[in-house]
Structure 1
Amino acid sequence: MTIGRHASAAVPANTVAAPHLSPKPAAFDNLTLVSPGRSARAGTVRAIGFHLGLLALFAVPAVALWWHVWSGHPADTLTCACGDPAQEVWFVAWPAWAVAHLHDPFFSNVVNVPHGANLLSNTSGTLVGVVLAPVTWLFGPVAATNVALTLAPALSAWGCFVAVRPLVTWKWGALPAALVFGYSSAIYTSLVFGHVSVSMLVFPPLLFSLLHEIVIRQQHSVRRDGLLLAALVVAQFLVSPEVLFLCGVFAAIGFVAVMAVGWRQVRVRAAAHALPALGLAFAVAGGILAYPVWFGLEGPQAVTGLLFAIAPITGVPLSGIVVPGAPRTVATSYVRFSGYLGHNGPPPDYLGVGLLVAAIASLVAARRRALTWLLLLLAVVAFWLTLGAYALSAPGWFHHVWLPWRPLEKLALFEEVLPDQIAPFVVLFVAFLIAVGLDAFYVRHRPASSWLAVHRRGATMAATVVVALVAVVPVFATFDAPIAVRPVTVPPYVRTAARTLPARSVLLTVPFAVSGVTQPMLWQAVDGLRFDLAGAALKTPGPGGGPVGKGAPGSARRIMTDLTLAGAPEPSGTPAQIATLLQALRSWKVSRVVVAGSSRDPVYATGFLTMVLGVAPSQVAGAEVWRLQNGVPPATPALGGSLPKCRQNAETLARSARRTEMALCVLFGAGRT
């Protein structure tokens, strides 16, 4: 097999490929913004205008998907003011705050006080927050998050278009490829959960196209290719290190395949161009990313080990690539807990029959091109990895098939990735394959008198339009379109009274900010991060370096978690629990303890905290509030009362009076009035 665009036309190592073998980039090709023979300025303006128009075109379906946001109140609307969407608002807000205050964007000390949180151990998407900082400053982090989620599929599609274009002569073949990728089930699934960093996939297509340029086409200088690759690597790291890691995995697989099959054709060119360009990219990107990589792996509050407890049982369904499951049904409890209150959609690996037929037709049409088989290899490997370690939804006979994720998931870095996150790469390689197939159909030699030869452009354009429709229609046919959204509700206390607190006051809230409970972080973000939080719905390390999660049994974190989430007995107010929480209050230097918003049982939580703090709360803007001085409560614990009995008595009163009655009952049981 010959490594090149056409298997039948090998290009000697010391020659330049002919135009029909390696198409010369046009004014709108990948990062080529100057038209030959015209002034650089005019060419740049035209190219920028073209790409802006293209981006606007790709944004049309995105605006349609997010129509409920943009036709309403984008600064106060999310898919859910809970779960992952609420957490993502905080991730967008933090870099803007860090830039404005000249703070380290990779580390936050306004949550999980006094320890803070390492944001490179979380899916923080630092670059997105920095770029959208002006939007955050002007309109708030919710609006900035909605901008990011709307741009994510459009930019991903644009990146795919730009990446595909140098690989083909039929330039419009890049259009359906872009739509296939940008509006894939994999990206849509991340959108509805607000996952900005893993839905903003503009750089992976560009990385793969540039690697093809460096290893195969080699039409630019070593310096240009090396520096451009370094820039893309740095940018992708700052959006999502996990996605960059996966890009590296597939780049390595592709490089090994190319070397194994086409070593004779590639070795001389590799020594002259590829190795120097890759070396330059490694040196530049390595120098820039040395500190961030160290910080994420070994820096303060870095998390190690298995990051996702559900990782061993995750993966896409085997049939999901064709069968959409049960779309448009009521969302499962898991989907709702994660932050989407609309309907179920297809699995992340869903392509549908139409795209599979297009991919198979492309494989047949471009079967003589080595690039076709490389893309097929990468797509198959990616799909194989997405099945996870056990392929839980596969038929019984399939369980005897060896799954590569089983040994890989135990390796460093792989344990930080979920198999589902590989699904976008399946779609990416299929999208590239479809573009190559359309190009092969367009350039195929036919008898001059044949109908296809006479109508070659029209026939190829018709096929292109059909594939583009096949790419977009399934999204609107199987998913919620427009996406279901809800108003963002922030307790009046946070919108009013909290803004009068001294700067950097520490709040301990019920609900408590812990894994799965992100509302307090949303409140903090909407308030402009003026106060600090005890707790964090982020990955922070426990004693062994792994994610602390809900905390060890008996810890203050677990006590507050059990006040917030069902699933374990509520804290009963034992002396050990009270002593533990009092010690934590002093360590956290809590200024206010606040019961606001929704949680497991706010009435019971009010009684328990009254027992710990020794006084009844003040009612401020609809919240129960206790005031502390550097974590020291105003009184000694109110022991002696029965929380279950007080809760039972409070239930007999009107809802508005239950919290007050609960606190008074606890104090009465302790002999206080």
Structure 2
Amino acid sequence: MTVDSPPATAEAEPVRLPAWRRWPIHATFVGVYVVLACYLFSGLWAGILSHGDGYLTTSSQDQYDWEWFFAVTARALTHGDNLLLSTLQGHPLGVNMMANTAMFGLSIPLAPVTLIFGPTITWALVLTLGMAASAGCWYWLMVRHLGISPVPAAIGAAFAGFAPPIVSHANAHPNLAVFFVLPLIIGQLLKMRTGEHRIRNGVILGLLVTYQLFLGEEALLMAALGIAVFAVAYAVVRPRDAWASARQLLPGIGISLAVFVPLVAYPLWFQFAGPQSYDSLQHGNYGNDLAALVTFPSRALAGDHPTALAYAYPTEENSFFGWPLVIVFLVVAVLVWRVLAARALVLTTLAITVLSLGATVAVHGHDTGIPMPWAILGHLPLFESMLDSRLTMICVPTIGILLAVATDLMLARTNRIKVVWSIALAAALVPIFPIPLLATTHAPTPAFFSQGIWRQYVPAGKKLPVIITVPTPEPTDMRAAHWQIEAGLGFALPEGYFVGPWDGTRQGSYGPAPRPTTELLRRVRDSGQVAIITDQDRLNAQQDFAYWGADLVVLPPYENDAALQKTIEQLLGPGRTAGGVVFWKVRVV
């Protein structure tokens, strides 16, 4: 039970085991989290272990992109390249890695794994061990700093680590599923409330926040928002204690900033002012539909994929707690209301949920036009680049902690109350228990790339040849990035799937503005009709190939590839065939 709990009756007070006898219990629960994570990604690991390959189906193109980040980071470390900028994609301007989700906090230490076993193994390890570690660290926070008994803490931490929004993002966004540093940051803040060891605790906090920045800036921003809202809520319910805590915290926070700022100053400058940086990334109003809060997620025991899809894409099911849990949460709010810190958590959860609804309230897809606070907050710096629907991810640990506190309280009551509470808890959590994520394998890599045939046709001695795959890589098709990895990252690709400035502006966008030849070939791909090439098209192609520094144009087996081949032949003449592709050497005039 938390330090702010009301006194329990003598009859109800549970027997506490000595600390040394709890370690087997703690280890057991952490082991359960590892098993649960392996179960969640069992399809991915089955493919890897049986075929040496695995791909999360619902990730769409995101797994290709993440593997590219892992592979490029490992290559940069071994080749002495700039970690913060890569021209292997988006050539010739490149990709600002700090302005994207390179996740250096794991991609750098796991670089040896990537180099030896490949980025797919790194991807699987980051997700599996990362989610298990997240649940384990939430458990540690609840037991060590919140004084919650092991069994209730284990239940709350399991929710915090594997709740529907986390599982949804685990399909494609490890930066929004791997949160093991956040409970450590919160634990450090709680330690600093005592005012003891200010320098040491401040330094540790600064290092933790720095590390989280290199794991995921969006998660760090959401955590900061959640902590700020909780601080306000706590000040409302217990102003005197909140003021006393603030006086103890501020000196330590100042020390942590003195550690944090020098460590991140240059990377953040590079992110916001370096090559291929941008000012903001506009998403529009993507707040949670009110109905989504009570809907079951698609990958759960009670999941209904068609219903869930009506409210969000499977990788953005940011609420989807299910109506039983919403009811139980309201009951929990009543049960824990006398616990002042828990009361502040209830208020935080409600406030963040309101913010997550976006600028206006939507119900069953109908925009009611009712204005909400996000209409103002969403225009502030940094927040304007966030998806407002993702804010409910802040509610995941708050709900998990509240479930743990309520369970701790109920287990100290009579047997009848214990049974009733256990049934209610099961009714809330069993329907949203996750089922394994769908998995398949990568699209086949043409032998032209996997067997290194391409090397015979690029200029000898050129440090970084440029190959134009047709159509060029884009957010809806990033297979070329996988072929590039299979080819040892030996050539550069134009365009691609990353966030960068749009067409010479400071507005962020997914992928660069397509060049005329790119648009031409994509129209052919989509229509299946051979283009009638004009002199302007030929001039555009010459200019585009010169801009890209192109050496080869490669047409792999593709939708409407016959029409694409005939179109390219009008630009470059007859193609040659090798390794399962048709290719053309480019001679820029």
TM-score class, shorter-chain normalisation, is: 0.7 to 0.9
What is aligned with 2:403?
434
State the 1:219 CA deviation: 7.4
What is aligned with 2:164?
185
* Aligned match for 1:227, one of 194, 203, 219: 203
State the 1:25 CA deviation: 12
CA contact under 8 A between 2:103 and 2:214: conserved in structure 1?
Answer: yes
From the superposition, tell whether residues 626 and 539 of structure 1 become closer, same or farther in structure 2 (CA, over 3 Å): same
From the superposition, tell whether residues 179 and 169 of structure 1 become closer, same or farther in structure 2 (CA, over 3 Å): closer
CA contact under 8 A between 2:328 and 2:425: conserved in structure 1?
Answer: yes
From the superposition, tell whether residues 220 and 100 of structure 1 become closer, same or farther in structure 2 (CA, over 3 Å): farther
State the 1:376 CA deviation: 1.0
Q: Which amino acid in 2 is paired with 1:598?
A: Y
Distance 1:527 1:51 in 2: 45
SS in 1 for 2:558: coil
State the 1:473 CA deviation: 5.0
SS in 2 for 1:348: coil
From the superposition, tell whether residues 584 and 95 of structure 1 become closer, same or farther in structure 2 (CA, over 3 Å): same
What is aligned with 2:436?
481
What is aligned with 2:10?
none
| TM-score of the pair, normalised by structure 1 | 0.76
What is aligned with 1:620?
578
From the superposition, tell whether residues 51 and 148 of structure 1 become closer, same or farther in structure 2 (CA, over 3 Å): farther
From the superposition, tell whether residues 400 and 330 of structure 1 become closer, same or farther in structure 2 (CA, over 3 Å): closer
What is aligned with 2:53?
76
From the superposition, tell whether residues 482 and 417 of structure 1 become closer, same or farther in structure 2 (CA, over 3 Å): closer
* Aligned match for 2:508, one of 547, 557, 579: 547
From the superposition, tell whether residues 269 and 197 of structure 1 become closer, same or farther in structure 2 (CA, over 3 Å): closer
- What do residues 486-516 of structure 1 show as CA deviations (whole Å, max 9, x unaligned)? 3442222211123666652211111311232
Q: Which amino acid in 2 is paired with 1:170?
A: S
What is aligned with 1:534?
494
What is aligned with 1:383?
353
* Aligned match for 1:110, one of 66, 88, 94: 88
SS in 2 for 1:72: helix
- Alignment of 1:170 with 2:131, yes or no, is no
SS in 2 for 1:625: strand
* Aligned match for 1:236, one of 171, 194, 212: 212
From the superposition, tell whether residues 484 and 145 of structure 1 become closer, same or farther in structure 2 (CA, over 3 Å): same
State the 1:176 CA deviation: 0.6
* Aligned match for 1:591, one of 526, 551, 569: 551
CA contact under 8 A between 2:497 and 2:511: conserved in structure 1?
Answer: no
Distance 2:400 2:485 in 1: 37
Q: What are structure 2's unaligned runs of at least 5 residues?
A: 8-12
- Alignment of 1:577 with 2:537, yes or no, is yes
State the 1:624 CA deviation: 0.8
From the superposition, tell whether residues 101 and 427 of structure 1 become closer, same or farther in structure 2 (CA, over 3 Å): same
- Alignment of 1:287 with 2:262, yes or no, is yes
What is aligned with 2:128?
150
Q: Which amino acid in 2 is paired with 1:318?
A: L
* Aligned match for 1:94, one of 72, 85, 98: 72
CA contact under 8 A between 2:289 and 2:311: conserved in structure 1?
Answer: no
* Aligned match for 1:408, one of 355, 364, 377: 377
From the superposition, tell whether residues 286 and 246 of structure 1 become closer, same or farther in structure 2 (CA, over 3 Å): same
Rg (Cα) greater in structure: 1
From the superposition, tell whether residues 169 and 52 of structure 1 become closer, same or farther in structure 2 (CA, over 3 Å): closer
SS in 1 for 2:4: coil
- Between 1:460-469 and 1:424-433, the stretch displaced more is 460-469
CA contact under 8 A between 1:304 and 1:546: conserved in structure 2?
Answer: yes
- Alignment of 1:558 with 2:516, yes or no, is no
Distance 1:491 1:335 in 2: 38
State the 1:556 CA deviation: 4.3
Q: Which amino acid in 2 is paired with 1:172?
A: V
1:165-314 matched pairs, under 5 angstroms: 165=143, 166-192=145-171, 194-215=172-193, 218=194, 220-271=196-247, 273-305=248-280, 307-308=281-282, 311-314=283-286
From the superposition, tell whether residues 550 and 285 of structure 1 become closer, same or farther in structure 2 (CA, over 3 Å): closer
- Alignment of 1:128 with 2:106, yes or no, is yes
Distance 1:622 1:436 in 2: 61
CA contact under 8 A between 2:324 and 2:427: conserved in structure 1?
Answer: no
What is aligned with 1:519?
479
| TM-score of the pair, normalised by structure 2 | 0.86
- What do residues 346-377 of structure 1 show as CA deviations (whole Å, max 9, x unaligned)? 93312224433443343233221111121112
From the superposition, tell whether residues 26 and 386 of structure 1 become closer, same or farther in structure 2 (CA, over 3 Å): farther
CA contact under 8 A between 1:173 and 1:439: conserved in structure 2?
Answer: yes
Distance 2:271 2:489 in 1: 23
Q: How many residues align?
A: 568
State the 1:394 CA deviation: 4.6
* Aligned match for 2:386, one of 417, 424, 428: 417
- What do residues 178-225 of structure 1 show as CA deviations (whole Å, max 9, x unaligned)? 111211110111122x2111111222333334334434xx27522333
State the 1:470 CA deviation: 4.9
Q: Which amino acid in 2 is paired with 1:389?
A: A
Q: Which amino acid in 1 is paired with 2:493?
A: L
Q: What are structure 1's unaligned runs of at least 5 residues?
A: 10-20, 28-34, 36-42, 339-343, 445-451, 634-673
Q: Which amino acid in 1 is paired with 2:293?
A: I
Distance 1:54 1:244 in 2: 26
State the 1:411 CA deviation: 2.3
Distance 1:377 1:390 in 2: 21
CA contact under 8 A between 2:295 and 2:308: conserved in structure 1?
Answer: no
CA contact under 8 A between 1:184 and 1:471: conserved in structure 2?
Answer: no
Q: Which amino acid in 1 is paired with 2:429?
A: A
SS in 2 for 1:147: helix
